[in-house]
Amino acid sequence: MHDKKLKILWLTAISCNGNAHSFLNHPNLEYFMDKFEFVYHPIIDSLYTLEDVIKKDLECDILIVDGAISPEFKKAGESIINILDKYAHKAKKIVTVGTCATFGGIFSQSGYAYTTGLHFDKENPTFLFKSLKDKTISISGCPIQPEILVDTLYAIKNELKIKLDKYLRPKEFFAYTVHNGCTRNEYFEYKVDNHIFGKKEGCMFYDHGCQAPYTNGSCNKILWNEVNSKTRAGVPCMGCTSPDFPKEGFFKTKKNMGIPQNLPIGVAKRAYLTLAGVTKAFKIKRLEEDLF
Amino acid sequence: MMLGDFILSSKKEQKKEQIMQGALSLFAIKGFYNTTIPDIAAALKMSVGNMYNYFKSKDFLAKEIIKYISAYLGNKIKKINEQDISTEQKTKKIIELYFETALSKPEMIDYFLRIYLSNREIFLDGCEGMICVNEFVTEIMIYFEEGVKCGDLRDQDFFSAFGLFMGYLGGMVFLKGENILPKELNEYTDDISYNIYKALSA
C-alpha cells in the first residue's frame, strides 16, 4: 500500500475554494503528487470530471470534504448529501478541510437550510453522518494551513496513529493555541497593550480583538508561506479554526467593564485578574519602547 | 510539610495576625508616624527583638497590613460574588459589608483611607500599582464584569465605575470618621445602594 499512490477525491460543497487554493501553496507539492493522485480536484487536473464523480462509481482511498453541507445544496444537479453518502462509505478515510466543512463556518449563515459541517453544527455534533465519525479527521481553519493537510495525508498513507481532539482534529496541530509561538508573548505576559496596527510592538489581546490565547491552531508554529503569521505581522488572530467562527468585531476586544470577555483557555477569571493586576503594576521600560 | 512544621507555621501566622491587629489599633489611636515598633511590642507584651522575628521593619509591617485588609475584604466580597443573586442585591451586600467593617473594625478602613492612600511613599517599593490590594480589587472587578455580562450594569471603563463606587463609600466613611455624619453609616445603606446601582445600571 505504501508504494501505491493514494487516490483522493476532493469534493467541494458550499465553499469559496479558499482551502483548495491554500493547498496549492504547499512548498513541496510536486513531491506530494508523487505519492498521491486526485481522482477529482476542483482546480487541479485530475483523472475524472465532476460529471464522472456523480454518474460513475469511482475508486477513492481518501475523501476530502471542502465546504459546508446542506440538504438543499446540489452539485451538477445531484444533492451533495447523496454524493457524500456514496463516496464516504467507500473511502478508507474522510478529511474535512476548513472550518466550513468542519463546523459550518461562514456558510452556516448562507441561505441554504440546515447548513452545517460534516459532523458538527458549530460545537454541537450532528447525526446525519454519525456512523462515519470513526474514519473522519477534521482540519479546521479559514483557510487550512497546507502543511497540516499534507502532513495529515502522509500520516494516513503511512498508517500512523493520529491522536484527535474532541472535534476530530489532529492534536499534533490543534492541541496548541495560536498564542503559542507568537512573537508578542512578552507583551502579553507583562500586559503591555499599546499595540498600533502595523507595528511590531504591543499585544493585540487587550484592545485589538486577538483571539490567539483561546484559539487552537498552529499558525505561530508552522508559519504561513514559511514566512509569517497574522499576529507576528500585526493583525489579530480571528479565531478561524474555532467552532463559532466567524464572530463579530474582529479588530476590537469584547470587554465588560474593561475586562476581556474571553480569557486564555483554561485560565480562571480570578487567576487571570490577579496575575494581570500584578504585572500591570510594573512598568517595563524595554517593552514600552520601540524595538527599532 | 511535616505536621509539626505546619502547626508552627500556622501558629506563626496567628501571631502575625495578632500583631497586625494590635498595630492597627495603635495606628488608629496614635497615628502611623507616632507609633513605633517598641510601642506595638509593648502593647502586645512582646519583646522588641521577638517582634522583629515577625516583621523586620515598620514599613514591611505597613505593607503586610494592607495586604491583610485587602484579603479580608476580598474574601468577603468573593462570597457575595458567588451567590446566585441579582447585581442590585450584590451591590447592596457589598455596601453593607463595607459599612459593617467600618463600624466593627474601624481601624481597618481607617488604615486603608488614612494611611495607605495618604502615605504612598511607604508603599512605593513592594506595593506598586494595586498589587497589595489585589484581592479586594479583583473581586470588585468580578462584580462589575458579571454585572455587565448579565446586562444589569452599563459597560464602561473600569476606573470610572470603580471611582464612583469606592470614592462614594470612602467619602462616607471619612465623613463618619470626622464625626460629621448625623446618622450611623448603616442608616445610609439603602439610599447609597440605590444611588450607586442607579448610576452604574444599564
- Domain extent, residue B50, equals 1-56
Which B-chain residues 117-146 have CB contacts (< 8 A) with chain A? 128-131, 134-135, 137-138, 141-142, 144-146
Which chain A residue shows the shortest CA-CA distance from B145?
Answer: A256
Question: How high is the pLDDT of residue B2?
Answer: 67
**Is A276 within 8 Å of A260 (Cβ atoms)?**
no
Most A-contacting residue of B70, B131, B156 (CB-CB within 10 A), to test interface = B131
Beta-carbon contacts of residue A119 (< 8 Å; ≥ 6 apart): A96, A102, A125, A126, A129, A130, A132, A133, A136, A138, A168
Round to whole Å and give the CA distance between A275 and B200.
26
In degrees, rounded to 5, the angle at the alpha carbon of residue B201 between the alpha carbons of residues B196 and B202 is 160
Q: Are residues B97 and B47 in the same domain?
A: no
Give the gap in angstroms from C-alpha B76 to the nearest C-alpha of chain A: 14
Once rounded to an integer, what is the mean pLDDT over residues A79-96? 96
Residues B29 and B73 in one domain: no
Q: What is the bridge-based pairing of β-strands A93-97 and A136-139?
A: parallel
User: Are B134 and B41 part of one and the same domain?
Assistant: no
Give the phi and the psi of residue A256 in degrees, each rounded to 5.
Answer: -115, 115
Q: Tell me if the pTM is above 0.80.
A: yes
ipTM: 0.80
Q: How far apart are CA A159 and CA A35, in angstroms?
A: 14
Alpha helices in B118-188 (DSSP H): 120-123, 134-149, 158-177
Which of B56, B73, B95 finishes a domain? B56
Q: Looking at the partner chain, which of B129, B155, B159 has a beta carbon nearest the beta carbon of A280? A: B129
Contact across the interface for B131 and A257, Cβ inside 8 Å: no
Minimal Cβ distance to B130: which of A255, A257, A281: A281
Alpha carbon A240 to its chain centroid, in Å, reads 6
Whether the CB of A277 is below 8 Å from some CB of chain B: the reply is yes
Domains in chain A: boundaries: 6-174, 176-287
**Quick one: pLDDT at residue B122?**
86
Query: In chain B, which residues have their Cβ closer than 8 Å to the Cβ of A261?
Result: 149
Q: Express each pLDDT in A259-283 by its tens digit.
A: 999 999 999 999 999 888 888 888 8
Report the greatest alpha carbon distance in chain A: 68
SS3 string, A45-94, reads CCCCCHHHHHHCCCCCCEEEEECEECCCCEECCEEHHHHHHHHHHHCCEE
| Segment A108-120, tens digit of pLDDT | 998 899 999 999 9
Q: Which of A255, A258, A278 has its CB closest to that of B134?
A: A278
Ordered DSSP codes for B107-122: HHHHIIIIIITT-HHH
Same domain, B49 and B132: no
Number of separate domains in chain B = 2
Cell of A50: 465532476
> Strands A6-12 and A36-40, how do they pair?
parallel
Contact at CB, B144 and A255, closer than 8 angstroms? no
Evaluate whether A119 touches A138 at the Cβ level (below 8 Å).
Answer: yes
Question: CATH number, domain at B24?
Answer: 1.10.10.60
Residue A2 has pLDDT above 70, yes or no: no
Pairing mode, strands A62-66 and A6-12: parallel
Q: Name the superfamily (CATH) of residues A176-287.
A: Cytochrome-c3 hydrogenase, C-terminal domain (4.10.480.10)
Give me the helices (H) in A158-213, please: 171-174, 185-189
Residues B172 and B96 occupy one common structural domain: yes
Asked whether the domain spanning A176-287 has the same topology as the one spanning A6-174, the reply is no
Residues in chain A within 8 Å Cβ distance of B141 = 257-259, 273
Tell me, which fold does domain A6-174 have in CATH? Rossmann fold (3.40.50)
pLDDT above 70 covers what percent of chain A? 99
The 10s digit of each residue's pLDDT in B154-195 is 999 999 999 999 999 999 998 998 899 999 999 999 999 999
A256–B contact, CB cutoff 8 A: yes
Query: For A270, which residue in chain B has the nearest alpha carbon?
Result: B138
Please give the Cα distance from B197 to B190 (Å, whole number): 11
- Whether the CB of A274 is below 8 Å from some CB of chain B: the reply is yes
Q: How far apart are CA A75 and CA A54, in angstroms?
A: 8
Contact A9, A87 (CB under 8 A): yes
Instruction: Report residues of chain B scoring pLDDT below 70.
Output: 1-4, 6-8
What burial letters (b/e) apply to A181-206, b meaning 16+ CB within 10 Å? Answer: bbebbebbebbbbebeeeeebbbbbb
Q: Are residues B125 and B176 in the same domain?
A: yes
Write out the three cell numbers for B199: 448610576
